[in-house]
């Protein structure tokens, strides 16, 4: 089966080079991998002591960041290497301050895995949440490199638990220990005979809780807000925006809106702006304007949404009308905000928990969205209660990083 797996990887690599000619994201994926080994050889010397973290994309990187920062603090003589699979992770965090080298992970061929590990020679390796690249895991095992999964989560529909998933189950033998998010994941691994597993929780709670201790000030957001009730819309998609635009245009409340779309391509931003009848300003066009005069602020840039949440009174988190579903709720939750989301959230434990606890409201229709916003805008007590549920939920689930570090 590994032979077939390697054939598929080789074919995929060839196809991606062809698709890259017509797709800008795939082009980043392909072009970004061309100089990985040269970059690593420049930044990692044979005498260096190194620790490797792999993240699929931005969300997994943010999830593992508390552990990366703790490792960096406790092992300052080691160089940290961070790899990404996806451009949406690498392109945003390629200039991070925690790693000595941040690169794309070369495609999972045996030769790539051997070359990568020979250059990086990690003393220890961490995979964050998921992504089980068979050749890399096999080479890590051959080289006797302790390998850990952190904030892992397993579901019974994964290939490990199917009758035909034997070669994937074998890959799990490469892990020295599994730190998983919940009891369900632990039980699934135990069914495979794995006893080297502990429920540590989700390190994302540690990351978002630490946000409160940082400087989250953005003077231009403060100027725009102007002491007015503000709804912050994070990571919205067109299906979210259709409902939101209707409410923005028709509501008569004294309320302002900050919208940070998931897709900030010019044509998407233009469509969004043109649909809004209230006075609207773009982040890219705010210079020289009196921001307090505007009703809607569209953030056509990346990297500042977390800080923007600190100015919100209510949050709407997008993605809940798509597949697999809603985006990150924990960042607005840590600021004690009541949250509104779309209907697709069942794949995300924190969203399910917050909906069940009452801190988060799930809506499916225009009327439900309007009713949710009206209740939150008109009733300070409801807004405060739901926000308190969200912030308490984050605080109650902290501690995964300490559990992992103590075990290591």
Q: How far is CA 253 from CA 229, 378, 386, in A?
A: 9, 9, 20
Domain 16-201, CATH: 3.40.50.11720
Using alpha carbons only, give the angle 34, 39, 45 rounded to the nearest 5 degrees.
Answer: 145
Residues 19-38 pLDDT 10s? 988 988 899 999 999 999 99
pLDDT average, residue stretch 139-160: 95
Same fold? 16-201, 216-396:
yes
Q: Taking the domains of the chain in order of start, what are their residue ranges?
A: 16-201, 216-396
Active site residue 60: yes
pLDDT band at residue 407 under the 50/70/90 scheme: confident
Percent of the chain with pLDDT over 90: 89
pLDDT at 395: 95
> Among 173, 8, 203, 24, which residue's Cα sits nearest to residue 107?
8
**Confidence check: pLDDT of 111 > 80:** yes
Q: How far apart are CA 353 and CA 301, in angstroms?
A: 30
- pLDDT > 90? residue 272: yes
What does the pLDDT look like over 156-200, one tens digit per residue?
999 999 988 888 899 999 999 999 999 999 999 999 999 999 999
**Per-residue pLDDT at 349:** 87
**pLDDT of 80 above 90:** yes
Q: What is the CATH number that goes with domain 216-396? A: 3.40.50.2000
Mean pLDDT value across the chain: 95
Over residues 279-298, the pLDDT tens digits come to 999 999 999 999 999 999 99
More confident residue, 148 or 10: 148
pLDDT band at 345 (very low <50, low <70, confident <90, very high): very high
| Per-residue tokens: 69 | 């920062």
Instruction: Name the catalytic one among 60, 62, 131, 331.
Output: 60
Bridge partners (DSSP) of residue 317 are: 234, 341
In the 3-class helix/strand/coil scheme, how is 155-209 assigned residue by residue? CCCCHHHCCCCHHHHHHHHHCCEEEECCHHHHHHHHHCCCCCEEECCCCHHHHHH
């Amino acid at each position: 089966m590994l032979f077939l797996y390697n054939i598929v990887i080789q074919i995929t690599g060839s196809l991606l080079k062809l698709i890259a000619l017509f797709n800008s994201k795939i082009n980043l994926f392909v072009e970004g991998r061309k100089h990985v080994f040269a970059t690593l050889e420049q930044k990692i010397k044979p005498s260096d002591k190194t620790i490797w973290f792999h993240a699929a994309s931005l969300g997994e990187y943010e999830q593992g960041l508390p552990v990366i920062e703790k490792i960096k603090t406790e092992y300052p003589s080691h160089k940290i290497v961070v790899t990404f699979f996806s451009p949406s992770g690498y392109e945003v965090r390629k200039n991070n301050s925690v790693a000595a080298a941040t690169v794309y992970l070369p495609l999972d061929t045996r030769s790539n895995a051997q070359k990568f590990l020979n250059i990086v020679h990690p003393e220890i390796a961490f995979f964050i949440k998921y992504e089980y690249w068979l050749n890399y895991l096999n080479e890590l095992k051959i080289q006797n490199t302790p390998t850990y999964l952190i904030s892992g989560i397993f579901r019974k529909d994964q290939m490990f638990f199917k009758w035909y998933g034997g070669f994937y189950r074998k890959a799990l033998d490469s892990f020295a220990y599994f730190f998983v998010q919940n009891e369900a994941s632990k039980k699934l691994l135990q069914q495979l005979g794995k006893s080297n597993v502990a429920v540590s929780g989700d390190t994302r709670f540690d990351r978002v809780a630490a946000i409160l201790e940082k400087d989250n000030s953005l003077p231009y957001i403060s100027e725009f807000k102007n002491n007015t009730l503000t709804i912050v819309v994070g990571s919205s998609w067109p299906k979210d925006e259709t409902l939101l635009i209707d409410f923005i245009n028709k509501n008569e409340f004294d309320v302002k809106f900050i919208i940070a779309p998931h897709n900030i391509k010019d044509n998407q931003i233009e469509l969004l702006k043109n649909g809004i009848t209230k006075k609207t300003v773009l982040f890219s066009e705010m210079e020289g304007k009196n921001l307090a005069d505007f009703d809607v602020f569209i953030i056509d840039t990346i990297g500042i949404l977390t800080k923007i949440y600190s100015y919100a009174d209510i949050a709407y988190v997008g993605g809940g009308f798509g597949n697999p579903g809603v985006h990150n709720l924990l960042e607005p939750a840590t600021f004690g905000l009541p949250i509104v989301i779309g209907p697709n959230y069942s794949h995300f434990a924190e969203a399910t928990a917050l909906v069940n606890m009452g801190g988060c409201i799930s809506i499916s229709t225009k009327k439900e969205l309007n009713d949710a916003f009206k209740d939150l805008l008109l009733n300070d007590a409801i807004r405060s209660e739901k926000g308190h549920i969200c912030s308490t939920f984050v605080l109650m689930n902290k501690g995964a990083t300490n559990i992992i570090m103590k075990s290591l």
